[in-house]
Amino acid sequence: MSTSPSSGGQALNDWSAAQYLKFEDERTLPARDLLSRVPLTSPKRVVDLGCGPANSTAVIESRYPNANLVGIDSSPDMIRKAKATLPHLDFTVEDLTSYSPQGEVDLFYSNAVFQWLKKEERFEIVKKLMATQPSGGVFALQVPDNLAEPSHVLMRKTATSGPWAQKLASVGRDTFQTPLEIYDLLKPISSAVNIFHTSYYHALENHAAIIEWVKGTGLRPFLDPLQPEEKEGFLKEYLKGLQQAYPACEDGRVLLRYPRLFVVAVKK
């Protein structure tokens, strides 16, 4: 799930598997929902693109126990965790922008990766990989669709309203293609392009838990360039915004709305 720069002593493009897995159940739910829409009964070869700590890979293996299943990710920490979790499978550090599969792949599966790529690169990579697939092969991807959610609007607002504004001036991720754009890009090489959208409502312990959630993904590019005292100031201001934007439930928990976009394309 990783293609973004890193922070605090970790290598470039590395991510924290431990931070990501603080919400393992919630993060794995869309992985299951994506796989449930894949119309393959017994693929021979499957590649988990951006496998992260192997939570998604485990879901794939459960459905396709006889497949030749491999996982790739750009984060060494994620791959270390994946190998420890599923030591019988093959996991390698690879960058999606340069990755080239060895042999035909029946299913390319990607849970929350393509949002990190540059907008113009995303579907060029999808089309390049689909070109290596046999007829009937499937490319399935899921991405967060949350740039308009308060959690992410407030990241950008906080970034522009503090002493760190200049340092964070170029931080952010590209908007994702619309369903119409996705369909038009993939239909010429696909017999079917199925697109769907789901909003999850995660009941988190409190507003600070929202920060812990996004620290594992969307907040990282904003925090990585900052010094420790700047991070503390940023997070303090960000928390104030979250407390205003997300009302607490009767039991004190906070509902984090999390929209996601799903695409399942079948190769012609």
What would the pLDDT profile of 150-209 be if each residue is shown by its tens digit? 999 999 999 999 999 999 999 988 999 999 999 999 999 999 999 999 999 999 999 999
CA 42 to chain centre: 25
pTM for this one? 0.89
Domain layout of the chain by residue ranges = 17-267
> Which pLDDT value is given to residue 24?
63
pLDDT at 19 over 70: no
Integer angstrom CA distances of residue 140 from 40, 177, 190, 224, 255: 11, 15, 12, 30, 28
> What tens digit of pLDDT does each residue of 111-123 get?
999 999 999 999 9
**259, pLDDT greater than 90:** yes
Instruction: Count the Cβ atoms, other than its own, within 10 Å of residue 8.
Output: 10
CATH architecture of 17-267: 3-Layer(aba) Sandwich (3.40)
Token output for 210: 């929202």
Q: Distance (Å, rounded) from C-alpha 31 to C-alpha 57?
A: 9
* Residue 103, amino acid: G
Interatomic CA distance for residues 34 and 54, integer angstroms: 15
- Evaluate if residue 49 carries a pLDDT over 60: yes
16 pLDDT more than 90: no
Residue linked to tokens 């979250």: 242
Residue 22 pLDDT level (bands cut at 50, 70, 90): low
- Report how far apart, in Å, the C-alpha atoms of 193 and of each of 26, 141, 142 are: 26, 11, 13
